[in-house]
Amino acid sequence: MRRNAQQCFREIRRRQVLDGDEVPSSDERPRRLEKPLREALSVFRAVVVTGPRQAGKTTLVRKVVGDAGTLVRLDRQPVLQAVLADPAAAATQGAEPRAFDEVQRGGDALVRAIKVVLDDNRTPGQFLLNGSADFLTAPMLTESLAGRAVFMEMWPFTQGEIGGHPDGFLERAFSNPEELLGAELSPLSPGDYLHRVCRGGFPEAVALPGRSRGVWFRNYVRSVTQRDITELTGARRAQHLPKILSLLAARTANELVSAHIHDASGLGSRNTTDDYLSHIQMVYLAHTLPAWSRGLTAKITRHPKVYIADSGLAAHLLGKDPTSLARPTDPARGPLMETFVANELLRQASWLDHDVRLHHFRDRDGGEIDLIAEAADGRVVAVEVKAAQTVSTQDARRLTWLRNKIGSDFVCGAVLHTGERSFRLNHDVYALPISTLWLNP
């Protein structure tokens, strides 16, 4: 059996090369994660890259592995069958780095086989694994490779990756925030921002016109909720997952209270609702930011804030387009703009040289700060998002309050808006166009 599986595995790999299965995709935009990924692979025995399906992970892994390594596509059924028949052979065949695409499909058997190889050999750069499920929460994976691998997240395109711009806001905000004021007038109009919000960052969706993009999002949601989550979890009544996802979209950029989702879902069991919420986050359709506190007030709320992982996906789930969002009374415009900004910052934080975590702040009196980026040394950059062209000092009052509370740990605050100008609101709090996130100051 072992010899037959090995022969089958080798033949499948040979056919993949001959029939052009590994031809690169048409979209070869540089990805910011490439450099830290290569650096990690030169230091650690294994690197695990996870993120939403269709975010570009396979394209990046193919590029990093190149001709020197081995790429095994577990989304190809014959390949998957061969790997499952003999995981030990799969884990030892081919040149390093050995890359397994959609590794979660190989289950614990494959991960255990990789673990054995890593325990026997401490040489860096042996494995590059990528998948569309969180290794730490996927129920079919009890082996996490903790202590043997470094974990990285890859998300859809940033605005800078789409347009070839530097995506330097977060790095500059911590290192030299005064430079943020040096930006020229933003070239983007409010309508331009709404277009970007509805487009999102999924590579295929970015390349499509609006109507076709809606078809793509609809099929994407169906595929991930009805197939991927079911395969990964064995979830029953998976037909309810799109509804739960839509309920989350209606609450994007707001606190996540699972009881409220359950009440609106019509599901009989609260445990089922909680499971579905976990499944949706496990496959990176949504993510949460924890509440931030340093004991500034006893009235802080502890609920996390939820965001759909791509603003274009969120807009699709809500049935919104740039025209509808342009109406001044549309209640989704503010939350979708904040979702857009939060996702840009999350992506920027994923490739920084130093650890930066995103949070939100809200107290029971209604005072809140949309986004707080905290470095490992305790320094803080705070951000408010306004889907409006005008900004006043009143919009910065909570940022000023935070600065007075935490003193020198407060690096700067920014009120991001859809207008053209950058200007100082007070000493270290600025009004900046949202495009400052990715354009050069």
Question: What tens-digit pLDDT sequence spans the chain (441 residues)?
Answer: 455 555 555 544 443 332 333 333 445 789 999 999 999 999 999 999 999 999 999 999 999 998 889 999 999 999 999 999 999 999 999 999 999 999 999 989 999 999 999 999 999 999 999 999 987 777 777 777 888 999 999 999 999 999 999 999 999 999 999 999 987 788 999 999 999 999 999 999 999 987 899 999 999 999 999 988 988 887 777 788 999 999 999 999 999 999 999 999 988 889 999 999 999 999 999 999 999 987 665 567 789 999 999 999 999 999 999 999 999 899 999 999 999 999 999 999 999 989 999 999 998 777 899 999 999 999 999 999 999 999 999 999 999 999 999 999 999 999 999 999 999 999 999 999 999 999 875
Whether residues 129 and 194 share a domain: the answer is: no
Whether residues 221 and 357 share a domain: the answer is: yes
Q: Vertex 31, ends 209 and 20: CA angle to 5°?
A: 75
Both tokens of residue 308?
């759909």
What's the distance, Cα to Cα, between the start and end of the chain in Å? 62
Q: Which of 137, 153, 169 is the last residue of a domain?
A: 153
Whether residues 108 and 186 share a domain: the answer is: no
CA–CA gap between residue 72 and residue 259 (Å, rounded): 42
| 3-state SS, residue 387 | coil
Q: What is the pLDDT of residue 374?
A: 98
Give the structural domain span for 85. Answer: 2-153
Q: What is the pLDDT of residue 155?
A: 97
Whether residues 400 and 372 share a domain: the answer is: yes
Whether residues 196 and 125 share a domain: the answer is: no
| 3-state SS, residue 274 | helix
Whether residues 317 and 425 share a domain: the answer is: yes
107-120 vs 77-85: helix crossing angle, rounded to 10: 60
Q: Going by DSSP bridges, is the β-strand pair 380-385/368-375 parallel, antiparallel, or unpaired?
A: antiparallel
34-41 vs 57-65: helix crossing angle, rounded to 10: 50
| 3-state SS, residue 220 | helix
Q: Going by DSSP bridges, is the β-strand pair 254-255/127-131 parallel, antiparallel, or unpaired?
A: unpaired
Q: Is residue 301 a contact partner of residue 362, using CB atoms and an 8 Å limit?
A: yes
Whether residues 142 and 186 share a domain: the answer is: no
Q: How far is CA 129 from CA 29, 62, 126, 181, in A?
A: 21, 11, 10, 41
Q: Which of 153, 176, 205 is the last residue of a domain?
A: 153
Whether residues 382 and 250 share a domain: the answer is: yes
* CA-closest candidate to residue 296, choices 403, 431, 428, 188: 403
Number of domains, the chain:
2
CA–CA gap between residue 135 and residue 207 (Å, rounded): 30
Phi and psi angles of residue 98, each rounded to the nearest 5 degrees, phi first: -90, 120
Q: The CATH number of the domain where 110 resides is what?
A: 3.40.50.300
Whether residues 417 and 299 share a domain: the answer is: yes
Spell out a b/e string for 348-386, using b for 16 or more CB atoms within 10 Å of the CB, else e.
Answer: bbbbeeeebebbbbbbeeeeebbbbbbbeeebbbbbbbb
CB-count exposure of residue 302 (10 Å: 0-12, 13-18, 19+): exposed
Peptide bond into 87 cis (omega under 30): no
Give the number of C-alpha atoms closer than 13 A to the C-alpha of residue 250, restricted to the C-beta side: 11
Whether residues 42 and 138 share a domain: the answer is: yes
Whether residues 395 and 420 share a domain: the answer is: yes
Whether residues 266 and 337 share a domain: the answer is: yes
Question: Which H or E element spans position 308?
Answer: strand 305-308
Q: Which of 153, 169, 195 is the last residue of a domain?
A: 153
CA–CA gap between residue 60 and residue 37 (Å, rounded): 9
The runs of H, that is alpha helices, within 19-53 are 34-41
